[in-house]
Amino acid sequence: MKNDTGIEIASLMRPSLTHLGIELVDVQWSGAGHGAVLRLVIDRPGGVSLDDCERASKAASAVLDAYDPIRTRYRLEVTSPGAERPLLHRQDWVRALGYKVNVRLRSGTAETVIEGRLLALADGDAEIEVRERRGKRVVPIALDAVIAARIAVDI
């Protein structure tokens, strides 16, 4: 599935899911042929229940049947983002303020991983409090240097 199709699917789905009080976090496509899977990642305040997944699946199926944006066979899956929710959009970063995050950054030709508590966001930058042997320090990061980020489970 082309990225444009994913954007189209997200645009088609959002109104129906929003009406149910459900946020569409991500649209993912994997596999090919009879093993193709369209995965909708959903969330809502307080977390996602099985009933939420079922309601979202029914709403998504109705939209997909009506607009038919995918011309091949596929299986529809609806899931929550899980405990280690990816930080894909600005609102995900805002929601993660105060939480422990794991961030993979592009640093020149190398990659760096930073894990710590997300303290602040401002104008394309974030501040992460990192624990070190001698205490804590705040590390500023540019969000445009982020390769991948997720909430880190704090055990």
pLDDT value at residue 30: 87
79 membership: H or E segment, kind and range: strand 75-79
Tell me if 70 sits within 8 A of 5, measured CB to CB. Answer: yes
Q: What class has domain 3-79?
A: alpha beta
pLDDT value at residue 3: 61
Domain covering 90-151 assigned CATH 2.40.50.140 in the classification: no
Residue length, the chain? 155
pLDDT value at residue 69: 84
Nearest to residue 101, comparing CAs of 144, 42, 146? 146
pLDDT value at residue 130: 96
Along the 155 residues of the chain, how does pLDDT read in single tens digits?
556 777 888 999 999 999 999 999 989 988 887 788 999 999 998 889 999 999 999 999 999 999 888 888 899 999 999 888 899 888 889 989 999 999 999 988 899 999 999 999 998 899 999 999 999 999 999 999 999 999 998 77
Domain boundaries, the chain: 3-79, 90-151
pLDDT value at residue 48: 93
Count the Cβ atoms, other than its own, within 10 Å of residue 112: 14
Distance CA(139)–CA(149), nearest Å, equals 15
